[in-house]
């Protein structure tokens, strides 16, 4: 068994061994104040290839509210390449915190890098967005809208447009009654 197979087996074993502490979403605005202030998340997805990410966040008191500060590292899953990665620091700040309706703003400075035969590219940018929705006991319906601005620096030569908006995203999730939480993107 190769290293990737061993890593996959370890991840599956950990997820099976600790199902009560696991949730299928990184942030539920209704439960931000509940449980441990420390949160670790693992994520997979497709972004020009299969990627995996590992992150940490902490809930901190701020004035009469709480904020969620975090960071994560994302890299290709199919074949590890130390020159292809994304590092993010993030801050989630609740804006509207009603009984059922909630809204939060997100800001995340992001560093991306990739290396291939054509050259080495490094990009510094900022993700900004908002997440909000209706949160009832046992279920919720929420949406997220964001904007990713990046100012790429390539070496050599610089061929991309600096300061161009790169994408907008929208996601939605819904928890099912009786489950800790579930979400779909």
Give residue-wise pLDDT tens across range 108-134: 999 988 887 888 888 899 999 999 999
Identify the DSSP state of 29: G
- What is the rounded distance in angstroms from the CA atom of residue 36 to the CA atom of residue 48? 34
E strand spans, the chain: 38-46, 50-62, 65-76, 85-97, 101-116, 119-136, 139-155, 164-174
Residue 72: CB atoms within 10 Å: 21
Q: Domains of the chain: which residue ranges?
A: 3-174
pTM of the entire predicted model: 0.66
Mean pLDDT in residue range 159-173: 40
């Amino acid at each position: 068994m190769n290293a990737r197979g061993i890593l996959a087996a370890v991840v599956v074993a950990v997820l099976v061994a600790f199902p009560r502490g696991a949730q299928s979403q990184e942030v539920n605005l209704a439960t931000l104040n509940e449980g441990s202030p420390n949160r670790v998340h693992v994520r997979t997805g497709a972004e020009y290839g299969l990627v995996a990410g590992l992150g940490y966040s902490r809930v901190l008191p701020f004035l009469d509210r709480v904020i969620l500060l975090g960071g994560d590292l994302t890299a290709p899953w199919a074949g590890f390449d130390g020159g292809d990665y994304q590092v993010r620091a993030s801050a989630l700040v609740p804006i509207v915190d009603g009984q059922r309706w909630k809204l939060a703003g997100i800001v995340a400075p992001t560093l991306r890098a990739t290396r291939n035969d054509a050259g080495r590219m490094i990009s510094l940018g900022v993700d900004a967005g908002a997440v909000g929705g209706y949160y009832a006991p046992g279920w919720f319906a929420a949406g997220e809208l964001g904007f990713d601005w990046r100012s790429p620096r390539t070496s050599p030569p610089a061929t991309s447009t600096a300061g161009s908006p790169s994408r907008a995203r929208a996601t939605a999730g819904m928890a099912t009654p009786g489950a800790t939480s579930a979400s779909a993107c």
